[in-house]
Structure 1
Amino acid sequence: MRRVFPSLFLLLALLYLPEPGRAQQSQSGTTATPKAEAKPRKLSRKERKELARRAELDAVSSQRQLTEKDREASEAFFVEGVKYVILEDYNKALERLLKAYALNPGNAAISYKIAETNLLSGNLKDASNFAQSAVKLDPKNAYYYLLLAQTYASQKQYDQAAKVYTQLIQDVPDSGYYLFNLADLYLAQGKLNEALATLERAEKQFGPLDEVSFKKQQIYLKQNNLDKALLEGEALIKANPDEIRYVLAQAEMYAANNRLPDAVRVAEQALRQDPESPQARMILADVYRQQGNAAESEKQIKLAFESPGLDIDDKVRVLVDFIKQLPNPKIEKTALDLAAITVRVHPKEAKAYSVAGDIQTLTNHKEDARNTYLQAIKLDNSRYQIWQQVVLIDAELSQTDSLLRHTDRALELFPNQAPLWFYNGVAYVLNKQPAKGVKALEYGRKLATDNPELLAQFDTQLGDAYHELKEYAKSDAAYEAALTFDANNAQALNNYSYFLSVRGEKLDRAKEMSGKLVKQFPDNDTYLDTYAWVLYKQKDYAGAKQYLEKALLTSKDATVIEHYGDVLFQLGDKDKAHAEWLRAKKIGGASSLIDRKIKDKKLYE
């Protein structure tokens, strides 16, 4: 509710109101003797109330005769108090105002200002008491009633606030426009019948008003009285033939209540008034969707999206609804088309690119999504979530250079984000810079102490990085830490067991870990190769051959083929071993020893 206060000039002027007159003393010797049979006249409620008010004022006045000196001092304290209210120093303000009140308690303006100051400083009870005093001292001042109502509303005493508005409208001349405040108060309480009755009173006093009709319409809807709500809507349209917002509201009401043909009729009426109205087209798109007319629905929503008049936030809300339904082949093309329209119509809105990137990600257009996210970053680089999406796509696409570049840029803005340090470290390790990788990973790990799952990922990557640096004790410790958190961590189990086999150390532990993986994933060629290599290091060549042949059913990896050649050589099939080495060389990606093996037809390890 809007708070209204009188101006400082008005408050100061109130100080100069004459003191309430004392009750007149009867002149001696003039007392009339009533007739014995006459009955005393019964006072009306209004007369009793006025007499009580005068008695209260007389009581205040009789307590202390206000001298000119006291009046001047009170005025000075008042002015100083008002100054401190403006400066928002409420303690000093109250100190001065209360001194003014002590000197002149019958001045309504002082009570009013004390009430206002208490309200501003949160002393609601005192605010109510002094506001009541102001109203009693000057019952014709609307501002005092408004403040009193506000103090009650602030304490959630809405019934009391409503009574104050009712009294204000009744007692203060020309205050009928406060009926609207009273109606709003009833609406806030959910007292729909009282609000409706109050609005009808306002309508009788001021004639038909658009805002009154609109509020009545909302009340009818809350009362599930659709027919009356629609009648109010038709009245609004008739009274405002050039106001399209009422036509749109009526169309939305029909659509929301499953009156679909009427919704189409009224929305088309809106389009006749404004052929470019995107809101009308959005209504039609929704109605056609409900009717199962997908083609027409798509046509209307695309026309709406083409309009700059449809707010970017409205478009984003629609696209978010599509995102919630993805992946879904039936709507993917429409979602992508709407995303493309949005960035074309709003090329300077970061949120347009952001939501478009989300749709491209969910429809598996990853590189397009990354480019779109990067456009969003150009417009607004402050959103961590967008940087995160870019980094995740880099990692998913195994584009190490991009991953390193983007994590470096993101860390300049978000140095406390542990996931960025994780991917930055991974990028360095993959780029054959394990020392820098370890530095990034160790720093990021310190930021992830409250996230055990992320800590385990850091430990796994540190195991890889320390292995590259030949710091094997640290590597083993990192892997063991990762497995302590998750004994089924596939990356840690595979890499740890493989590196142990390459070093020829703890082969029983390596066999235990890789065997666990093979049991869980019997068709994974990477895990089969690792297990075979552990067996190879244990000189179980026949067992190694068996698992490598199973791996080669699905793998074309040069390392697996080279390993198979090594096993064959150990089993005495040197010609076939040589052939496998040649095949590995041709595919690319074999070990640095492959050329010597081929040239000398001999196994080197």
Structure 2
Amino acid sequence: MRQFVVSLLVLGLCGPVGWAQSRRASADSAAVIRKPTKLSRQEKRELARRAAASNAPRPAAPTLSAKDKEISEALFVDGVKYVTLEDYPKALDRLLKAYALSPSNAAVNYKIAEANLLSGNLRDAANYAQAAVQLDPKNAYYYLLLAQAQASQKQYDAATATYASLVRDVPGSGNYLFQLADLYLAQNKLPEALATLEKAQQQFGTLDEISFKRQQIYLRQNNLPLALKEGESLIANNPTETRYVLAQAEMYASNNRLPDAIRVAEQALRIDPDNPQARLILAEVYRQQNQPEASQKQLKLAFENPALDIDQQVRILVGYLKQLPNDKLNPLALDLAAATVRSHPKEAKAYSVAGDVQTLTGKKREARNTYLKALRLDNSKYQLWQQVVLLDAELNQADSLLVHSDRALELFPNQAQLWFFNGVGHSLKQQPKQAVSALEHGRKLAAGNAELQAQFDAQLGDAYHELKDNAKSDAAYESALATEPNNYGALNNYSYYLSLRGEKLEKAKEMSGRTVKQFPDNDTYLDTYAWILYKLKDYAGARTSLEHALKTTKDAAVIEHYGDVLWQLGQHPQAVAEWQRARKAGPGASPLLDRKIKEQKLYE
């Protein structure tokens, strides 16, 4: 019988936009430097040449005449304009000419540094920013630009030193202590970060930001008591702020102080009764306490809340996916998947992960339909189309398989696997010509993937058989088995078709025998093996094999074959009885069955 097979931190920057600059930067008016624009090689070479020329030793610039001063100012303003327009080659052309006239002007050095930073020339950016700082050591913007150039080159020690100089030397720059603390944290310099935060507290008093950063440092130092103390301080200062309460509960939970975790999580729920994060914390704590019913209740309440972030729900469900199928977890996973869809009905990823859960728990039809809902929201995910057509094939739904594979191929015409399933769909619809066309095209796309090509070959063997092109059918099967000798679907179908033709029966027997040895209770393989024995006139062996198959199947073809064997063994009444039973079993029997029954005689 035939078988179907299938960052560091970003430093804020702003600067003078005119010739005459302010001596002191506003502490909280920093803007972010724009993303660098990639220059051509020619532009980079020209900028390097100009930079080298501008950095060459030169005699001290004489006092500018009124005319030269006017020219220099005009060049500077023009250069600033081109920086704003993001035309950095022209900006640097004007600014370097202004620099040639006024190399000791801090604003010119600053703008040259900014243009270099924005164009990706970090080394020159740092050099000119350093010069700007030296020329005007009281301008905060110059330090900020220098620190960004240094951090962009991963010169974190230098960037830290620049920030330290800024807060030390520039009056009114105390707010930059927080960025300095972040830099220390990024380098895991925890004592220095704590000392910097202490300075910030001395200057600004007790602030939530200081307590929070200090708490993170204590956690890195594994100093739980101090981290919890900071947390209690944050909660006391912000009694209605749930994020601090939740952070405290999480700390208790992660450090196995479960009663405290429950107490604080319930405190968060008194502030915000529907808070899903508090529910998740309780669910985890109850799980650790081996209270599965309480844990699951909290988990379901959290998942029903649309405020729970879809990505967090997906991450939790992915954790369950790794444990499925599991009879104990299947119901919970399905409930959580359904809740995810209810709480986020317009999120494709909600349906996608729900489909995954349904697939792994054996609900294939529901999974296919759920994936289709995901695709209605976002049809750009190839993996979803792949799952849909795979399930169509497993469900043996040829019409759906063709519709869905055709739609998928409109979006992904170069995906070999979609052509494979399209070919399978045509085979199921008994359209062998279309099947061969799709399979041959897909096989070409699978070049370089021997295993996938073997799958195509196995299907081509079936399709060419239906076209009665035995030579191409045999060649396809031989190719498939050359790559995958244990492709049992190909072994079964190839051997069965050989038996139908009465050709290479010993070879067919050997191939079919391998499948039966591997799957001794598979009724399809047993029927194939029996039919080969029948063709070899080993009727007793065929009978044994078929009687084994009939323990697990009511397939009409198997029953009819059993009747044929009984006839050959001389048990004619019993044979006719089996033929009659085959007719009652439904479709699948041969066109000769009615004639056998009517005339009570074997026809082959």
Matches within 5 A, 1:97-116: 97-116=95-114
> Which amino acid letter does the alignment assign opposite residue 248 of structure 1?
L
Q: Distance in 2 between matches of 1:425 and 1:2?
A: 54
2: distance between equivalents of 1:338 and 1:520? Answer: 39
Q: Which residue of 2 aligns with 1:3?
A: 11
C-alpha offsets along residues 206-231 of structure 1, whole Å, 9 cap, x if unaligned? 11111111000100110111111111
Aligned to 1:66, which of 64, 67, 74? 64
Partner of 1:87: 85
In the alignment, is residue 493 of structure 1 matched against residue 483 of structure 2? no
User: Which residue of 506, 509, 515 maps to 1:511?
Assistant: 509
2: distance between equivalents of 1:476 and 1:311? 55
Query: Does residue 1:400 correspond to 2:417, yes or no?
Result: no
Contact 1:281–1:303 (CA under 8 A) maintained in structure 2: yes
Distance 1:516 1:234, change over 3 A: closer
Alpha-carbon deviations, 1:32-87, whole Å to 9, x = none? xxxxxxxxxxxxxxxxxxxxxxxxxxx98944231222222222222222233233
Q: CA offset at residue 508 of structure 1?
A: 3.0
Q: Which amino acid letter does the alignment assign opposite residue 594 of structure 2? A: D
Which ranges in structure 2 are unaligned for 5 or more consecutive residues?
Answer: 1-8, 25-56
1:128 alignment counterpart? 126
SS at match of 2:448: coil
* Alpha-carbon distance change, 554 to 311 in structure 1, aligned in 2, over 3 angstroms: closer
2:455 counterpart of 1:457 = yes
Is residue 429 of structure 2 the alignment partner of residue 422 of structure 1? Answer: no
Residue range with higher mean Cα deviation, 495-504 or 214-223: 495-504
The answer on whether the counterparts of 1:593 and 1:604 sit within 8 Å (CA) in structure 2 is: yes
1:367-394 per-position Cα deviation (integer Å, ceiling 9, x unaligned): 2222222222222222222222222222
Q: Quote how far apart the aligned CAs of 1:7 are.
A: 4.5
More moved, 305-314 vs 207-216:
305-314
| Alpha-carbon offset, residue 539 of structure 1 | 3.5
- Deviation of 1:561 after TM superposition, in Å, equals 2.0
1:140-155 → structure 2 map (5 Å cutoff)? 140-155=138-153
User: Could you say which residue in structure 2 is the equivalent of 1:554?
Assistant: 552
1:295 aligns with 2:293: yes
Matched, 1:335 2:342: no
Q: Match for 1:328: what amino acid?
A: N
Q: Which has the higher contact order (CA 8 A, sep 6+)?
A: 2
- Structure 1 pair 455–224 and aligned structure 2 pair: CA distance change class (3 A): same
* Correspondence 1:467 to 2:465: yes
CA distance in 2, matches of 1:546, 1:310: 61
Spell out, residue by residue over 1:140-189, the C-alpha distance to the aligned partner (whole angstroms, 9 max, x if none): 11111111111221222222212211211222111111111111110111
Give the equivalent residue in structure 1 for 2:21.
14
Indicate conservation of the 8 Å contact 1:165/1:178, yes or no: yes
CA distance in 2, matches of 1:488, 1:60: 81
Equivalent residues of 2:80, 2:91 under 8 A apart: yes
State the 1:557 CA deviation.
1.9
**Within the alignment, does 1:533 sit opposite 2:531 as a pair?**
yes
Letter in 2 for 1:259: R
- Which residue does 1:46 correspond to in 2? none
Change (3 A) 1:522 1:231: closer
Worse overlay, 223-232 or 364-373: 364-373
Does structure 2 conserve the Cα–Cα contact (< 8 Å) formed by 1:115 and 1:130?
yes
Tell me the C-alpha RMSD between the 2 structures. 2.1
For 2:594, the equivalent position in structure 1 comes to: 595
Q: How does 1:269-348 map to 2 (within 5 A)?
A: 269-348=267-346
Conservation of the 8 A alpha-carbon contact between 1:15 and 1:75: no
Aligned to 2:155: 157
Structure 1 residues 232 and 542, CA gap change in structure 2 (3 angstroms): closer
Residue 545 of structure 1 contacts residue 568 of structure 1 at CA under 8 Å; is this kept in 2? Answer: yes
TM-score by length of 2: 0.89
Alpha carbons 2:457, 2:479 under 8 Å: kept: yes
After superposition, the C-alpha distances for 1:317-372 in whole angstroms (9 at most, x for unaligned) are 22222222222222222222222222122222222121122112222222222222
Q: Secondary structure of the residue that 1:325 maps to in structure 2?
A: coil
Q: Which 10-residue stretch deviates more, 455-464 or 425-434? A: 425-434
How far does the alpha carbon of each residue in 1:519-564 deviate from its partner, in whole angstroms, 9 at most, with x for none? Answer: 3333333223222322333334444334333433433222122222
Code of the residue aligned with 2:375 in structure 1: it is: I
Correspondent of 1:584 among 582, 586, 600: 582
Report what 1:268 is aligned to: 266
Distance 1:342 1:258, change over 3 A: same
Letter of the 1:437 counterpart: A
Point out the more displaced range, 309-318 or 248-257: 309-318
Structure 2 CA distance for partners of 1:12 and 1:563, relative to 1, 3 Å: same
Superposition pairs of residues 50-65 of structure 1, within 5 angstroms? 62-65=60-63
**Are residues 62 and 225 of structure 1, via their aligned partners in 2, closer, same or farther at CA, if it must alter by over 3 Å?**
same
Q: Aligned partners of 1:244, 1:450: CA distance in 2, in Å?
A: 56
- The answer on whether the counterparts of 2:106 and 2:131 sit within 8 Å (CA) in structure 1 is yes
Q: Distance in 1 between matches of 2:264 and 2:446?
A: 57
Cα gap change, 1:16 to 1:372, in 2 (>3 Å)? closer
Aligned-pair distance for 1:479?
Answer: 0.5
Contact 2:61 2:101 in 1 (8 A): no
Rg larger in structure:
1
> Are the equivalent residues in 2 in contact too, given 1:15–1:107 (CA < 8 A)?
no
Distance apart, 1:8 and its partner CA: 5.1
Match of 2:177 among 168, 176, 179: 179
Contact 1:255–1:283 (CA<8 Å) still a contact in 2? yes
CA offset at residue 2 of structure 1? 3.7
Q: How far apart in 2 are the matches of 1:149 and 1:16?
A: 19
Name the aligned partner's letter for residue 596 of structure 1.
R
Q: Deviations over 1:233-280 (max 9, x none)?
A: 111111122222111111111111111111111111111112222222
Q: How far is 1:121 from its partner? A: 2.1
Partner residue, 1:26: none
C-alpha distance in 1 between matches for 2:423 and 2:280: 48
Change (3 A) 1:491 1:136: same
Deviations 1:459-515 (A, max 9, x none): 000000000011111111100100110112111111111111211222232233223
Kept in 2: contact 1:424–1:440 (CA 8 A): yes
List alignment gaps of at least 5 residues for structure 1.
18-58
- The one of 378, 381, 387 equivalent to 1:380 is 378
Greater CA drift, 419-428 or 329-338: 329-338
- In 1, Cα distance between the equivalents of 2:21 and 2:16? 10
Q: Distance in 2 between matches of 1:345 and 1:128?
A: 51
Closer, same or farther: CA 16–308 of 1 in aligned 2, 3 Å: closer
Report the alpha carbon displacement of residue 6 of structure 1 after superposing the two structures with TM.
3.1
Alignment partner of 2:337: what SS? helix
Task: Report the residue type matching 1:439 in the other structure.
Answer: S
SS of alignment partner, residue 328 of structure 2:
helix
Q: How many pairs align?
A: 563
2:277 and 2:343 map into 1 onto residues whose CA distance is 16
Structure 1 range deviating more: 124-133 or 563-572: 563-572
Letter in 2 for 1:404: L
1:161 and 1:346 map into 2 onto residues whose CA distance is 44
For residue 12 of structure 2, give the secondary structure of its aligned residue in structure 1.
coil
Counterpart in the other structure of 1:25:
none
8 A Cα contact 2:16 2:22, kept in partner = no
The one-letter code matched in structure 2 to 1:14 is: Q
Aligned partners of 1:60 and 1:105 also within 8 Å: no
Aligned-pair CA distance for 1:196? 0.4
Greater alpha carbon shift after TM alignment, 470-479 vs 367-376: 367-376
1:480 aligns with 2:487: no
Deviation at 1:194, TM superposition (A): 0.1
